[in-house]
Structure 1
Amino acid sequence: MRLKVLSYIGWVQAAGAMSGSLFFSEIWRLPPCLLCWYQRILMYPLVVIIAVGILRKDKDLPFYALPLSVGGMVIAFYHMLLYWGVLPESVAPCILGISCTTKFFEWYGFVTIPFLSFLAFFVITTCMVLVLRGNRKN
C-alpha cells in the first residue's frame, strides 16, 4: 500500500510541475530559457510514464522514471547554480533566446522557477528510490 502511495505522490508531483510550467509560459507569458526546455523535456514524459506504471502495477516503474528524474534534477541543480550566481554565466548553454539567469520572480529570497523544478525532480526521485527499495524487500 505504501509503495502505491509513493507512486501516486510522484505522479501528482510530475503533473503539478507540468501544469505549473505551462501556467508560467502560457498564462503569465514567461518565456522558458534553454535549460527550462531541457527540464520540460525530462518532466513531461514522467506524467505518462508514472501513470502507466501505476495502472499496470509495474514493479519496474522506478527503472523507467529514475533516469528522467535524476537527469532533470541534475539540470535543475545546474540551473540554480547559474541563477544564483555561483557559476558564471559564461558557462551557461543559453546562447539563444532568453538568458537562463533572468529573474522573473523570487519568493522569500530563494524560491525561484529553477528551485521549484529542482524540488519537483527531487520529490519524484525520492519517491521512485523508495518504491525501488520497497520492491526489493518484497
Structure 2
Amino acid sequence: MSDALNGVDRVTERRLLAFGTVVAAVATAGSLYFSEVMGLVPCELCWYQRILMYPLVVVLGVAAVEGRGSAYRTVLPLSILGAGVASYHSWLQVSGAASSCTIGGCASVQYRLAGLTIPNLALIAFLLVSAVVLAAWRLDR
C-alpha cells in the first residue's frame, strides 16, 4: 500500500473492499440458496459463474482486513471474466437462442427476482465487485 495514503483514504479503501466482500458473499449465499434450498439445478454457465464468484469472498475479505487495494490484480480477472459469462448467459435467456450447455438449459429462466433472472443478478454482482475494487485501487495508487 502506498505510504501517501492518509488515514481517511485508508478507511475508505477498506470500506470499499469490505463492501465488495459483502456483495460477493451475498451472491455466493444466493447461489447456494437457489440450488440447496429452492432445489434449482445450476446449468453449466451457472457453474462457471460460481467458480469465478466464490473465491472473491475470500480474496476481497483478506484484502479488506489488510487494506490492500492491490487485490485488483486477483479480483479483476475473476470479476471481468464472470461478468462476461453472466452477460452471455443473460443474452441467451433474452434471445432464446439454443445453447450447447451439457448441464441444464442455459437459455431457460428458472427464477426471477424483481424482474431479474439469476444471471442478471450475477452480472450486477460482478460489475459491482469490479467497480469497487477499481475504486479501492485508485485510492491505493
1:116 matched to 2:121? The reply is: yes
1:129 matched to 2:134? The reply is: yes
The structural deviation recorded for 1:63 is 1.2
Residue equivalent to 2:112: 106
Residue equivalent to 2:76: 66
Residue equivalent to 1:30: 40
Comparing 77-86 with 113-122, which one deviates more in the overlay? 77-86
1:4 matched to 2:14? The reply is: yes
CA RMSD of aligned residues (A): 1.4
Using the alignment, how far apart are the partners of 1:83 and 1:93 within structure 2?
A: 13
Give the partner amino acid of 1:119.
Answer: I
Between the aligned residues of both structures, percent identity stands at 37
The structural deviation recorded for 1:124 is 0.3
The structural deviation recorded for 1:107 is 4.1
**Which of 27, 30, 39 is the aligned partner of 1:20?**
30
Residue equivalent to 1:50: 60
Using the alignment, how far apart are the partners of 1:55 and 1:9 within structure 2?
A: 12
Structure 1 unmatched ranges of 5 or more: none
The structural deviation recorded for 1:72 is 0.3
